[in-house]
Structure 1
Amino acid sequence: MLAAGGTGGHVFPAEVLAEELRRRGYALTCVTDRRGTAWYSSRRRRALENLSVHAVVSGGLAGRSLFGTVAGGARLTWGIGESWILLKSLHPEVVVGFGSYASVPVIIASLLAGYPTMVHEQNAVLGRANRLLAPWVSRVAVSFAPPLYNAGTTVLHTGTPVRPEMQAIRNVPYVPPNDANVVRVLVIGGSQGAHIFSDVIPAALSRLPVALRTRLRVSQQVRVEDRAAVVAAYDGLGIDVEVESFFDDVQTRLVETHLVIARAGASTVAELTVAGRPAILVPYPHAINDHQTANARAMAETGGAWLVPQVAFTPEALATKLQTLFALPAILAEAAMCARRIALPDAAQRLADMVESLTGPDEGSRKPSQSFRAGWMGIRQRESQEYDPHSTT
């Protein structure tokens, strides 16, 4: 049983794991929130069209008022009850949470019912849901190096599973631009675009020398409401540009691109490293726990990207940075190599191995709920031994 909220950052890794587990012969169920059911039924999410999907009530406890906190607690309690009924009906071998509040009632019910549980964290810092659940579950899988986390338990570095089409371009080498060829730039802003990219990037490119502008081939993802304004901003600049609200062939564009400008969501960073493409990352400043900055920093510190805070993301600064990078293609090539070096392209297999390790009789008889119940009474029973996903024990 997989529990994931209705946003791409949580759903994409869950879908890839589901594909791998299905390949290994497991039957799968996904539990999500009301928003997630719409995501799974959309035409874009057809990869697992036969996946059994169930919705439960969920809600955070961090309300802005006493009423909000009480209402959130009531939703959580109701969701735990719904999850309990679902568990007793389906009897899963393992329950895997992928963060977001949609996973909380499912994992808590699983702990109380005695099912083996684990969570996967996509970002470089634990989100609120996984931070709550991490001390109690059987396993914690993370996407970045474990020293970045404070999970209260031993963690395993699996990476973030990426879509098969991204894995397919893993071995396509990066070819840096030269003085004679075109320079391809891909701008992606997450699942819904980024308004600041619509304002800053055309203005920055307009400041580049004409000789460089005529060599540019730009693919920019924008919000639907921004498209007309962005197209008008590029008019007359002499830039070959394609502006769309969604690209369904990002993998093809990544193969050809010389530089990516993007937010720093977990799936975006994972796909950039698997593809081995250099990027300018502009973290969304209002992300919970500022996790996008942590993601971008993890990639930038290895040399695979350049982190630019949104407050510093101005047309003047971006134009200067682009001129420098395009004039020194060896820097882009080095960044591409660094990005590729930190990738974990077998993340789905690592994560599936971890899930399978919880299906044995030893794990099933350990009754995590006993530790969970005791924990609420102030008794923390935690394991200290290091976990090896390939162990036969």
Structure 2
Amino acid sequence: MTAAPPHLLIAASGTGGHLFPALAVAAELDDCTIEWLGVPDRLETQLVGDRYRLHTVPVTGFQGGLGLGSLKVLWGLIRAIFQVRRLLRRGRFQGVFTTGGYIAGPAILAARSLGLPVLLHESNALPGKVTRWFSPWCTEVALGVDSARRYLPKQAHTTYGGTPVRPDFLATPPPVLTLPIPAKAPLLVVMGGSQGAVALNQLVRRCAPMWLEAGMWIVHLTGEVDADRDSFHHDHYVSLPFYPEMAALLHRADLAISRAGAGTLTELAITHTPSILIPYPHAAEDHQTYNGTIFATAGAALLMQQDEVVPEDLQQKVLMLLKGVIQRHQQPTHWPFTPNDPLVIMAEKTAELAFPDSARHLADRLRQLLAESPLNDGSLTTGP
């Protein structure tokens, strides 16, 4: 009799930074039965529902100090723990994989109350509050940045394995960009994360005329909430609220101006794309600055703080980095490739930060944990 495939619950919710790594790991686990745990009305209802059976529980995070709001959040967390516990027992899941965020708390506590293994992946250089609070309860915490372990309790069992990316980022050869941009034309990509970045958009539109005059092409991903996203026009300027083929776009880009979310940085590393990073200043505990500092210290990126950036400075930094690409495009016979080009050096440093086998590494570890699950020896029975 053939054994049933392992049954795994993935708890990932909210943003692309939580969802895309989880989806990348799930794609490596075709020998497992996977169901998903999320929160109503979040991004997972769009990205997950047609791939995996989706369960949702209402849960929010603690904001600010203690008060009536905190008590409501705590009560919601307790209710969610019991809901997830019921789901795990009735579905006879053998373990949980989570990428942090609000949904991770009830998933971790419910699973551990049943003795089930939990693998938590943390992609940020500064682990989030949920990871710091609940990491001692996990069987293992896989870190996207090795130095993040210094911020976790000593009881947490940590390993380093990078952050997974979507399979198309690892395709050989890389996917081809379908946007109508000439081959070898200097290409600058601007992106503000899955939600866009209005302040970054405004800054870039002020700088764009000089860059375009110098001979660049610009692909500007504005997000959906920028009311001025259609206010600037040029034949070599492509403005889109979002672009689904990010692997092709970043493989083609010569330089990116970007926020410093962990998922975005992982994609830049995999595609060896040099960058100017402007962290989102209101990110929880300023964690994007911690992420960006890792890249800047390694020589893979320039780091600029949003409240300190002036358009003239950003204009000159971009022109300095893309000078060689522009000259080679305009006069290809007079400007040969040079390994001392700062952009070439940044690309090499960016490549050194890549961990292309991250999804496979995490999938293999999950298989080991599921094989050790108490459900396999019959010690976990169904019940309330």
Tell me the TM-score range normalised by the shorter chain: 0.7 to 0.9
Give the drift of 1:88: 0.9
Structure 1 partner of 2:349: 338
1:149-298 matches, cutoff 5 A: 149-152=150-153, 153-168=156-171, 182-208=185-211, 210=213, 212=214, 215-226=215-226, 229-234=228-233, 240-298=236-294
| Preserved CA contact (<8 Å) 1:81 1:109 | yes
Please list the CA deviations of residues 263-319 of structure 1 after superposition, one character each: whole Å capped at 9, or x if unmatched.
Answer: 111110000000111011110011112111111111111111111111122211101
1:40 aligns with 2:44: yes
Please list the CA deviations of residues 298-346 of structure 1 after superposition, one character each: whole Å capped at 9, or x if unmatched.
Answer: 1111111111111122211101111221225511111111111110001
1:87-126 matches, cutoff 5 A: 87-126=88-127
| Preserved CA contact (<8 Å) 1:146 1:157 | no
Give the drift of 1:69: 1.0
1:321-336 matches, cutoff 5 A: 321-328=317-324, 330-336=341-347
| Preserved CA contact (<8 Å) 2:162 2:355 | yes
Please list the CA deviations of residues 129-165 of structure 1 after superposition, one character each: whole Å capped at 9, or x if unmatched.
Answer: 1111111211010101246532222311111110011
Give the drift of 1:197: 2.1
- Once residues 64 and 223 of structure 2 are traced to their aligned partners in structure 1, the CA distance between those partners, rounded to angstroms, is 29
| Preserved CA contact (<8 Å) 1:170 1:275 | no
1:302–1:56 distance in 2 versus 1, CA, 3 Å: same
- Once residues 86 and 202 of structure 2 are traced to their aligned partners in structure 1, the CA distance between those partners, rounded to angstroms, is 49
Structure 2 partner of 1:176: none
SS at match of 1:226: coil
Structure 2 gaps of 5+ residues are 1-8, 176-182, 326-340, 378-384
Structure 1 gaps of 5+ residues are 173-179, 367-393
| Preserved CA contact (<8 Å) 1:97 1:118 | yes
Structure 2 partner of 1:16: 24
Give the drift of 1:224: 3.3
Letter in 2 for 1:245: P
Please list the CA deviations of residues 99-141 of structure 1 after superposition, one character each: whole Å capped at 9, or x if unmatched.
Answer: 1111111110111111111211011111011111111211010
Letter in 1 for 2:226: D
Of stretches 299-308 and 272-281 in structure 1, the one that deviates more from structure 2 is 299-308
Structure 2 partner of 1:369: none
Structure 1 partner of 2:69: 68
Q: Compute the TM-score of the two structures, normalised by the length of structure 2.
A: 0.84
SS at match of 1:120: strand
Please list the CA deviations of residues 155-194 of structure 1 after superposition, one character each: whole Å capped at 9, or x if unmatched.
Answer: 111111100111126879xxxxxxx963110111101211
SS at match of 1:293: helix
Give the drift of 1:5: 1.6
Letter in 1 for 2:164: P
1:232–1:73 distance in 2 versus 1, CA, 3 Å: closer
Structure 2 partner of 1:139: 140
| Preserved CA contact (<8 Å) 2:139 2:157 | no
Give the drift of 1:360: 3.1
Identity of matched residues, %: 29
| Preserved CA contact (<8 Å) 1:122 1:142 | yes
Letter in 2 for 1:129: V
Letter in 1 for 2:25: L
1:151–1:331 distance in 2 versus 1, CA, 3 Å: same
Letter in 1 for 2:232: A
Please list the CA deviations of residues 359-389 of structure 1 after superposition, one character each: whole Å capped at 9, or x if unmatched.
Answer: 23488799xxxxxxxxxxxxxxxxxxxxxxx
- Once residues 78 and 134 of structure 2 are traced to their aligned partners in structure 1, the CA distance between those partners, rounded to angstroms, is 15
Q: Please report the RMSD computed on the Cα atoms of aligned residues, expressed in angstroms.
A: 2.4
Please list the CA deviations of residues 223-254 of structure 1 after superposition, one character each: whole Å capped at 9, or x if unmatched.
Answer: 33536x3443345xxx6110010111222221
